[in-house]
Structure 1
Amino acid sequence: MTALSLGERLFIQGGIAQDLRADGRGRLDYRTLYVETGVIPQANGSARVRFGGTDVIASAKAEIGRPTLLQPDKGKVSTHVDCSSTAAPMFEGRGGEELSSELSIALQRCLLGGKSGAGAGIDLSSLIIVEGKVCWDLYIECLVVSSDGNLLDALGAAIKAALSNTGIPRVQVAADAASEEQPEVDISDEEFLQFDTSSVPVIVTLTKVGRHYIVDATPEEESQMSSAVSVSVNRKGHICGLTKRGGAGLDPSVILDMISVAKHVSEQLLTKLDSEISAAESREEDK
């Protein structure tokens, strides 16, 4: 946590109460968003996202795997976050490992819903090749390059941008394999299918400071929070996941209000992210 003097704490809290934060934003305004795609050539898709001084990279790699017995009609997705030790002083030693684990779990909840796959923002059935036998295993790797607050939202945006940049190789399945055998597959090196991101959500974190909540909190603002709720919302307004941090409890009516606000804010964030992804893809094509 960022150490602040009493005057600094009162300045931050007073500004949020007056809807005028220390950097001039309103309570529900994001910092400048920047997106760059195709930053890791060896991945199936990748992107770099910056929210102000927060800088993160996400990549997606697809490998042939086998569905689980409990979900034979679905592929598998795993997420992992690595916090660079140079991203912030608190990331040195065990601090970075603990935050990496916390962020990985939160992303898994926000993107993939419950264990049943219900409400998942990533359609796991789209990763199946042969039901019960062959599927795509999608590995999403994230790196926190620089931390300046609001890491989870930035990582969620980077994953959505990376998946928009992802091409899944076309697969031909051998037709002569016996039904009980593991079929042979031929993976194309030239033909790729665009990954469908229509249901992939963005993550909106509402940080509660005093009686009010804000989006895209800076480290100084996060140090004054009582709690924070992260809501993942897709383009249809469906809630794909929810996670909370901070010790203070929240009244159910407050959580419902925060979800409503998050859905409203997500529309603006999705529009801005779509625009930035399109601009990034145009720059990538021009290279």
Structure 2
Amino acid sequence: MVGVSVGEQNFIKGGIAQDLRTDGRKRLTYRDIYLETGVIPQANGSARVRIGGTDVIASVKAEIGRPSSLQPDKGKVAVFIDCSPTAEPTFGGRGGEELSSELALALQVCLLGGKSGAGAGINLSSLLIKEGRVCWDLYIDGLVISSDGNLLDALGAAIKAALTNTAIPKVQVSAEVADDEQPEIDISDEEYQQFDTSSVPVIVTLTKVGNHYIVDATAEEESQMSSAVSISVNRAGHICGLTKRGGSGLDPSVILDMISVAKHVSETLMNNLDSKISAAEACEDES
């Protein structure tokens, strides 16, 4: 929890009202983004993202699994988040557990369209090996190293970069077997395929402070918010998911305006992230 005096509160709110935030940014401007891929060699894919003082790592681990009976033609993805107590003292104990669960659920909605998988930004069908029998299970783990606001956007960016960095082994399935038997599979140690990230969205969180909303809020700015809406948008401009936090209600017309703004902001953010991911991958190949 950030302690902010009354004078600082007025300074933060006054600056946002005048479109000049305390760090010199305009309301719809992100802080500089630092991105690195391949930071965890043991994972199938990984990335580290720093946005200002917020520092997060995401890793992807692929394991052979069995499709669910409700979605026999798709693989499965699970998201887990760990908020390190070193990032923020309040992350120790239940505070960290509750925030980890909240972030994991929000990412599930933004990236996977919720538990149903409807509108998923991650193509679950690409994880299928044999319908109803064998699939890839992706375990996405996020770690918050330090926190200075806008955790969800940072984690979403790290996950997108980690998925781009993910290489999945090619698999050969044995000949047909009885329906009640699991087919034998041969996992290649040499041939890999890149994970399809063409539909993976970016997450844009609009934080309402006073009568205005801002992107990439710092921890101090978040301490003055009345509500925040996180919207995931893919490259085609389609909304993949939306979540809200904060006790203050929002008029539907305001939410529609937020969606319009998020679509506009997401285009710049997507291009920026794609450029940084390509540069990070090139550096990794050279090392």
Secondary structure of the residue that 1:95 maps to in structure 2? Answer: helix
Give, in angstroms, the shift of residue 114 of structure 1. Answer: 3.5
Deviations along 1:204-247, whole A, 9 cap, x unmatched?
Answer: 00000011000000011000100000000000011010000000
CA distance in 1, matches of 2:98, 2:178: 47
Q: Distance in 2 between matches of 1:44 and 1:24?
A: 39
TM-score scaled by structure 1?
0.98
State the secondary structure of the residue aligned to 1:50: strand
What is the aligned partner in structure 2 of residue 248 from structure 1? 248
Indicate if the aligned counterparts of 2:60 and 2:166 stay in contact, CA closer than 8 A.
yes
Report the AA paired with residue 219 of structure 2.
P
Q: Give the gaps of 5 or more residues in structure 2.
A: none
Matched residue SS, 1:36: strand
Q: Secondary structure at the match of 1:48?
A: strand
Aligned-partner residue type, residue 278 of structure 1: S
1:125-204 aligned at under 5 Å gives the runs 125-204=125-204
- By how many angstroms is 1:88 displaced? 1.1
On the 8 A contact 2:109/2:115 being kept in 1, the answer is no
State the TM-score, normalizing by the size of structure 2. Answer: 0.98
Contact 2:108 2:114 (8 Å CA) reproduced:
no
1:176, CA displacement in angstroms?
4.4
Matched with 1:61 is 61
1:5: Cα distance to partner? 1.1
SS at match of 2:100: helix
Instruction: Give the secondary structure class of the aligned counterpart of 2:189.
Output: strand
Counterpart in 1 of 2:113?
A: 113
What is the identity, as a one-letter code, of the residue corresponding to 1:108?
A: Q
Q: Please report the RMSD computed on the Cα atoms of aligned residues, expressed in angstroms.
A: 0.9
Alignment partners' CA distance in 1, 2:181 and 2:208: 55
Cα deviation for residue 190 of structure 1 reads: 0.8
Give SS of 2:207's match.
Answer: strand
- 2: CA distance between counterparts of 1:286 and 1:134? 35
| SS, match of residue 267 in structure 2 | helix
Structure 1: distance between partners of 2:67 and 2:262? 34
Q: Which runs of 5+ in 1 are unaligned?
A: none
Q: How many residues align?
A: 287
For the Cα contact (< 8 Å) 2:206–2:213, is it kept in 1?
yes
> What percentage of aligned pairs have identical amino acids?
79
Cα distance in 2 for partners of 1:285, 1:53 equals 28
Q: Deviations over 1:89-139 (max 9, x none)?
A: 211222111111111111111111133322100011111100000000000
Name segments (4+ residues, structure 1) moved above 6 Å.
none
* Aligned equivalents of 1:168, 1:38: Cα separation in 2: 14
